[in-house]
Amino acid sequence: MVRIKLPGGEEKTFPVDRVPVAEVVEGLGGSWRRDAVAARFGEDVVDLHQDIEGEGEFCVLRVDDAESLRVLRHSASHMLAYAVIELFPDARLAFGPAIEEGFYYDFDVEKPFTPEDLQRIEAKLAELLGTRRPFRREVWDKARAREFFAKKSQKYKLEQIDDLPGNEVSIYHVGDFTDLCAGPHLEDTSRIKHVKVMNAAGAYWRGDSSKAMLQRIYATAFFKKKDLDDHVERMAEAEKRDHRKLGKALDLYDVRDEAGGGLVFWYPKGTVIRETIERYLKDEYIKRGYELVGTPHIAKCELWHTSGHYGYYRDNMYSLDVDGHEFILKPMNCPGHILIYKRKLYSYRELPVRFAEMGTVYRKEFSGTLHGLLRVRGFTQDDAHIFCAPEQLDEEIDRNLDFAIAVLTTHGFDTFKIELSVRDPAKQEKYAGSPEDWEMAERALELAVERRGVEYKRAKGEAVFYGPKIDIKVVDAIGRRWQLSTVQFDFNLPKRFNITYVAKGGERKQVFMVHRALLGSVERFVGILTEHYAGAFPVWLSPVQAVVLPVTTDVAPYAQDVKERLVRAGVRAETDVREEKIGYRIREAEVQKVPYMLIVGKREMESGSVSVRERSRGDRGSCGVEEVASEIVDAARAKR
């Protein structure tokens, strides 16, 4: 029997083992059948070609539902592959998933795709989409699928078939194109109208640089033309803001081939930004009752056996030989902080204990996945661990959320998306910690977000095995979402390390432990900030806050004097006394996004003033040196 529960609470039963989704939707009457893109059954998105079995909540997905976009895009990716195969019959197909911004498909082809190739592919795609073509789903046994894809020399598909569990695989046909795929897909191609091929880039098979280099075509699709137009505009804007380009142009930071991928070099100006952020955070730590600690970058492998990382995180860790003993380059700071906690026995009166560290960690990443400062091999977490008693949980979580929002707001973000990852109580056995502890922790997290009256998403079953967490995403200046802060419970490490405290009655109890990082990684955060501000950092973060520009060389000594007075007042100031025209040097300072340009000529020298030009407001006229200095210092102090 199949039993479904509809959003209105109504229940329906079907006296059979499996029902086609299309039939269920049909039975709802009204315009549901016509509007349906796909459906959600329990936790899964299913399409109208599939059957459902068992019981669960059932809801029809229409064009405006978020999950529908993925169905559209993934269907469009099959059409993209169809177009490529029509034009390049020898192309071998890898994966073609929907992603945040659209979809891609990886192809093994002899030569990388040229811009002309992409144009032809886009034209072929449009031609194929000119006809309404149904998607057809079939379930084949693996032997049949292997035979089919072997005949077409699709070796990557054969590898995928071997990796899939069970004896059967699902196949989707559209037109003359057949692909191995779990779905879900649209019913037919009629809704795929607004598609755009974006670009192509090299990508390793399974992201592994020891494997074949494939060509990945990025594309996107939307249900509505306006959404596609907005997206294309946003992508153009994103390209202008690319932090890798701006990092070089503004002389902030870079990754150096000589040293290897994913390892960031902080140049003097970038270091000013980073140091300013870190100093602000450290001041906040002190104000908010944290203690700063420091831990070594390498530690014996035994420590990582105790923490469990050696078992389930080994593929991400770098191992070193030190005097014939295996050491691990730390991928996380937690075991180090636990060792510091364990140096003595804490009493309940001393809790909570909050340890913070700008902790640099190293994690293995495939070279193909590295991306500027956003995806690196070495990075610094603004990491902290809180050790507390159960009755302190609510307040600690509340303070943390407060801290997170304050930090993100200070850096110029004002839109937050909060996600709460909780357990699936039906699968309690897969989680570390008791149901009561989970209950308490989840309630603390929920309470903290609800108290703020902010909207949040509760993701059931999304928690990792060791504890529930809150994730905070911010929305940047061009509408992109970035995951930054995490507040994560841990019921696993306290047990593994047996960390305790002396409770009121004198007995030893296991301490509660919370990991939290507000920026996430400093590298990634500065990369995101660079794009958010398009390099025009607010005054408090600008590496150079003011540049003094003498109109002619004979006032250069006065410019130097003004600069020194600014520096003494606490302003990060420079002069530009090159023998270039003043217009050229102003443009240069604008390109460098310096917030204040202070222009000095004979008149300013005689009256002891400067002529102020602001990055965002243009010329403001003349102003006293001390006056402008205190304006800049005030702005920086107010984190503007």
Residues in the site for Zn ion, rule: CB under 5 A? Answer: 181, 334, 515
Q: How far is the CB of 603 from Zn ion (least distance, A)?
A: 59
- CA dist 136 and 171 (Å) reads 8
Q: Enter the DSSP assignment of 568.
A: H
| Element housing 388 (H / E) | strand 378-388
Active site residue 411: no
**Residue 241, SS3 per DSSP:** coil
Q: How many residues does the chain have?
A: 640
**Pick 120 or 330: Cβ nearer Zn ion:** 330
The tokens describing 322, both together, are 């030190």
Q: How far is the CB of 359 from Zn ion (least distance, A)?
A: 9
Catalytic residue, candidates 515, 524, 563, 593: 515
**Pick 117 or 179: Cβ nearer Zn ion:** 179
Active site residue 363: yes
Catalytic residue, candidates 334, 411, 572, 585: 334
- CA dist 146 and 149 (Å) reads 5
**Pick 72 or 597: Cβ nearer Zn ion:** 72
> Phi first, then psi: what are they for 511, rounded to 5°?
-85, 150
| Element housing 487 (H / E) | strand 481-490
Q: How far is the CB of 172 from Zn ion (least distance, A)?
A: 5
Q: How far is the CB of 185 from Zn ion (least distance, A)?
A: 6
The number of angstroms, rounded, from the C-alpha of 63 to the middle of its chain's C-alpha atoms is 26
> Phi first, then psi: what are they for 434, rounded to 5°?
-80, 155
Q: Is 324 exposed, middle or buried (CB count within 10 Å of its CB: 0-12, 13-18, 19+)?
A: exposed
Catalytic residue, candidates 50, 154, 215, 381: 381
Q: How far is the CB of 57 from Zn ion (least distance, A)?
A: 24
**Pick 180 or 373: Cβ nearer Zn ion:** 180
One-letter identity of residue 521 = S
* 32 touches 58 (CB < 8 A): no
Active site residue 469: yes
Which CA distances in Å does 576 have to 250, 551, 571, 587?
16, 10, 16, 12
Active site residue 585: no
The number of angstroms, rounded, from the C-alpha of 457 to the middle of its chain's C-alpha atoms is 17
Cα Rg of the chain (Å, integer): 29
Q: How far is the CB of 469 from Zn ion (least distance, A)?
A: 11
The tokens describing 527, both together, are 């990369």
Q: How far is the CB of 122 from Zn ion (least distance, A)?
A: 20
- CA dist 159 and 161 (Å) reads 5
**Pick 469 or 515: Cβ nearer Zn ion:** 515
**Pick 235 or 334: Cβ nearer Zn ion:** 334
Strands 102-108 and 213-222: antiparallel
**Pick 274 or 515: Cβ nearer Zn ion:** 515
**Pick 469 or 572: Cβ nearer Zn ion:** 469
- CA dist 513 and 510 (Å) reads 9
Q: How far is the CB of 89 from Zn ion (least distance, A)?
A: 20
**Pick 174 or 573: Cβ nearer Zn ion:** 174
**Pick 181 or 228: Cβ nearer Zn ion:** 181
Catalytic residue, candidates 337, 423, 469, 572: 469
> Phi first, then psi: what are they for 396, rounded to 5°?
-60, -45
Active site residue 381: yes
The DSSP bridge partners found for residue 197 are 219
Beta strands in 523-591 (DSSP E): 546-550, 573-575
> Quick one: which of 159, 228, 167, 227 has its CA closest to 196?
228
Q: How far is the CB of 179 from Zn ion (least distance, A)?
A: 6
Catalytic residue, candidates 47, 106, 117, 383: 383
One-letter identity of residue 620 = R
- CA dist 178 and 185 (Å) reads 13
Catalytic residue, candidates 124, 216, 363, 516: 363
Q: Is the peptide bond before 335 cis (omega within 30 degrees of 0)?
A: no
Q: Is 246 exposed, middle or buried (CB count within 10 Å of its CB: 0-12, 13-18, 19+)?
A: buried
The tokens describing 431, both together, are 């989680």
H runs (alpha helix) in 7-109:
21-27, 32-35, 66-87
Q: How far is the CB of 182 from Zn ion (least distance, A)?
A: 7
**Pick 181 or 470: Cβ nearer Zn ion:** 181
> Phi first, then psi: what are they for 612, rounded to 5°?
-95, 130
Q: How far is the CB of 183 from Zn ion (least distance, A)?
A: 6
Q: What share of the chain is helix, strand, coil (3-state, %, to 5)?
A: 40, 30, 30
* 40 touches 160 (CB < 8 A): no
> Phi first, then psi: what are they for 159, rounded to 5°?
-60, -40
* Residues carrying an active site annotation: 334, 363, 381, 383, 385, 469, 515
